[in-house]
C-alpha cells in the first residue's frame, strides 16, 4: 500500500455536469475545457468520461497531440493558440484547432508554409471585448479576417471572446454589445460562454460553449455552491488517518503551536498536507469528514500532514477515511476558508496524489 491519499474522480458526475451545460444552451455545441490537466482531474480521464462531448478546449499542444495519438478525432482547440512556428506546424499536421489572438501569431501564420498534406488548420479568431488579456480589438476584426482568409491552408471557423464578469453583477452586457454586431457582420459561428455565462446568461446559447469549472462540479459564483446549481463534484480528495494523539488541556498540535486544547481531546493525523495541494492558509475548524462525520482541522497544515479533531467521531482511528473535499463536502467551502476559489484548489492538487477513477 502507498501513502493513503487519493483524488477519486467521478466520471458519472463529469458526464452529468456536461449534460447540464448543454441543457442550459440546447442550440449550442460544447467544447469541454480541459486545460490545467482537466482542472487537476487528469485530462485523459476527463476525456474518457465524456464520450458525448463535442470537442475539447485546452492550452498546450502536448496534451492535444497526446489525445490525437490516442485516436481522439473530435475537434480540439488551443485557447491561447500556438507560441511558435514549430508548434503551429505541429497543430496543422495533427488537425488541432488554434485560437489567434495577436498580431504576432497572425504574422507567423502568414509567413509559415503549412504542411501541404494536412487538412486546413481550424482557426478561432479571438476578440478582446473588455477582458483586456488576449484578442484583437473588435474594430480590427474585419481587417484580420481578410488577412486570415488570404492565408492558404487556413479555415476561419469561429469568432470568440471571453467575458470578465459573467459571474458578477456587472454581467456580460457591455462585452456582448461590443461583440455581437461584429459577429453578425462577419457571419461567423461564435463562442463566448464560460460556465458562468452558460448558467446565468441566455445569450450563451450560441455555437460553441466553453464550460470549464462547471464540468468539475464547482460553482463559478461566489454566492452559490455547485450542488445548488444541480452540479455534482467530479473529484473527492480523500486521505486516511495515519496517527492519533490524545491532548491534555493546555497541549497544542503542529508547527507554531497555534492550536491549544482547552480540554482533553483526541486528534487524528491525516496523510494530507500542502504538498498535496491542501491549502496551508486555512484556519483551525475548516471542515473535514472523518468516516463521513463532520469535524474540523486543528492547528497549522504541514507539508505532508494535517490534524483533525476526533471529538465528533470517537471511534475513528488509524485507517479511518478523511474527506478533504468532494462528495459530502463542497470544495467551495474549503476554498472560502482559504480565501480563494474552487478552481485554484482543484488545479493545485499535486502530481503525487494519485487520481483514481471511481467505479460508481
Ligand atoms: C478557462 C476558460 C474557459 C472556462 O472557464 P470556466 O469559468 O472554468 O467555465 C472558457 N474560455 C476560456 C477562453 C478559458 O480560458
**CB 186, CB 179: distance < 8 Å:** no
Phi/psi at 314 (5° precision) = -65, -20
Q: Which ligand 1 atom minimizes the distance to the CA of 33? A: 4
Q: Which ligand 1 atom minimizes the distance to the CA of 162? A: 13
pLDDT at residue number 360: 64
Residue 304 Cα, ligand 1 centroid: separation in angstroms?
31
Q: Which of 18, 22, 35, 274 is catalytic?
A: 35
Rounded to an integer, what distance in angstroms lies between the CA atom of residue 311 and that of residue 321?
A: 15
Q: Which ligand 1 atom minimizes the distance to the CA of 210? A: 10
What is the pairing mode between strands 293-298 and 190-191?
Answer: unpaired
Residue 12 Cα, ligand 1 centroid: separation in angstroms?
22
pTM of the entire structure? 0.96
CA 293 to chain centre: 28
Q: CA 285 → CA 100, 156, 260, 297, 315, distances in Å?
A: 47, 53, 13, 5, 20
**Secondary structure of residue 136 in the 3-state scheme:** strand
DSSP 67: H
Q: Which ligand 1 atom minimizes the distance to the CA of 194? A: 9
Rounded to an integer, what distance in angstroms lies between the CA atom of residue 112 and that of residue 144?
A: 17
Please tell me if the CB atom of residue 194 comes closer than 6 angstroms to any atom of ligand 1.
yes
pLDDT at residue number 344: 98
Residue owning grid cell 500532514: 305
Please tell me the chain's helix, strand, coil percentages from 3-state DSSP, rounded to the nearest 5.
Answer: 30, 25, 45
Q: Based on the number of CB atoms within 10 Å of its own CB, is 178 exposed (0-12), middle (13-18) or buried (19 or more)?
A: middle
Other C-beta atoms lying within 10 Å of the C-beta of residue 248 = 9
Other C-beta atoms lying within 10 Å of the C-beta of residue 73 = 8
Rounded to an integer, what distance in angstroms lies between the CA atom of residue 90 and that of residue 80?
A: 15
Q: Which of 22, 39, 126, 255 is catalytic?
A: 255
**Secondary structure of residue 102 in the 3-state scheme:** coil
Other C-beta atoms lying within 10 Å of the C-beta of residue 137 = 12
Q: List alpha helices for the chain, DSSP H.
A: 11-24, 35-39, 43-49, 61-69, 85-94, 103-111, 141-149, 173-186, 195-200, 331-337, 342-347
**CB 153, CB 92: distance < 8 Å:** yes
Please tell me if the CB atom of residue 195 comes closer than 6 angstroms to any atom of ligand 1.
yes
pLDDT at residue number 108: 97
Phi/psi at 220 (5° precision) = -80, -5
**CB 328, CB 215: distance < 8 Å:** no
Residue nearest to atom 6 of ligand 1 (CA): 212
Residue 212 Cα, ligand 1 centroid: separation in angstroms?
5
pLDDT at residue number 322: 98
Taking 70 as the pLDDT cut, the residues of the chain under it are 1, 203-205, 360
255 among known catalytic residues: yes
Amino acid at each position: 500500500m502507498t501513502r493513503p491519499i487519493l483524488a477519486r474522480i467521478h466520471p458519472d458526475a463529469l458526464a452529468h455536469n456536461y449534460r447540464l451545460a448543454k441543457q442550459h444552451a440546447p442550440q449550442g455545441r460544447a467544447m469541454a475545457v480541459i486545460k490545467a490537466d482537466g482542472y487537476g482531474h487528469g485530462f485523459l480521464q476527463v476525456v474518457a468520461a465524456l464520450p458525448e462531448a463535442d470537442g475539447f478546449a485546452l492550452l498546450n499542444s502536448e496534451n492535444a497531440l497526446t489525445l490525437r495519438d490516442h485516436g481522439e478525432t473530435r475537434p480540439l482547440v488551443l485557447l491561447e493558440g500556438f507560441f511558435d512556428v514549430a508548434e503551429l506546424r505541429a497543430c496543422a499536421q495533427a488537425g488541432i484547432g488554434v485560437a489567434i489572438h495577436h498580431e504576432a501569431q497572425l504574422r507567423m501564420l502568414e509567413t509559415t508554409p503549412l504542411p501541404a498534406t494536412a487538412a486546413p488548420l481550424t482557426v478561432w479568431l479571438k476578440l478582446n471585448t473588455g477582458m483586456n488579456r488576449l484578442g484583437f480589438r473588435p474594430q480590427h476584426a474585419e481587417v484580420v479576417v481578410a488577412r486570415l482568409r488570404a492565408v492558404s491552408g487556413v479555415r476561419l471557423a469561429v469568432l470568440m471572446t471571453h467575458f470578465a464578469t459573467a459571474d458578477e453583477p456587472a454581467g456580460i452586457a457591455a462585452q456582448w454589445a461590443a461583440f455581437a454586431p461584429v459577429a453578425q457582420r462577419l457571419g461567423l459561428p461564435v463562442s463566448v460562454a464560460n460556465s458562468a455565462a452558460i448558467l446565468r446568461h441566455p445569450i450563451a446559447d450560441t455555437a460553441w460553449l466553453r464550460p470549464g469549472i462547471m464540468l468539475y462540479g464547482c460553482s463559478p459564483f461566489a454566492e452559490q455552491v455547485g450542488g445548488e446549481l444541480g452540479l455534482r463534484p467530479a473529484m473527492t480528495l480523500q486521505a486516511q488517518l495515519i496517527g492519533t494523539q490524545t491532548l491534555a488541556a493546555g497541549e497544542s498540535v503542529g508547527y507554531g503551536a497555534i492550536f491549544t486544547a482547552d480540554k482533553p481531546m483526541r486528534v487524528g493525523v491525516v496523510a494530507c498536507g500542502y504538498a498535496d495541494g491542501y491549502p496551508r492558509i486555512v484556519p483551525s475548524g475548516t471542515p473535514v469528514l472523518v468516516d463521513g462525520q463532520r469535524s474540523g482541522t486543528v492547528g497549522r497544515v504541514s507539508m505532508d500532514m494535517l490534524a483533525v479533531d476526533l471529538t465528533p467521531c470517537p471511534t475513528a482511528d488509524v485507517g479511518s477515511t478523511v474527506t478533504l473535499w468532494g462528495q459530502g463536502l463542497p470544495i467551495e467551502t474549503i476554498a472560502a476558508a482559504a480565501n480563494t476559489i474552487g478552481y485554484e484548489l482543484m488545479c493545485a492538487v499535486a502530481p503525487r496524489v494519485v487520481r483514481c477513477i471511481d467505479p460508481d
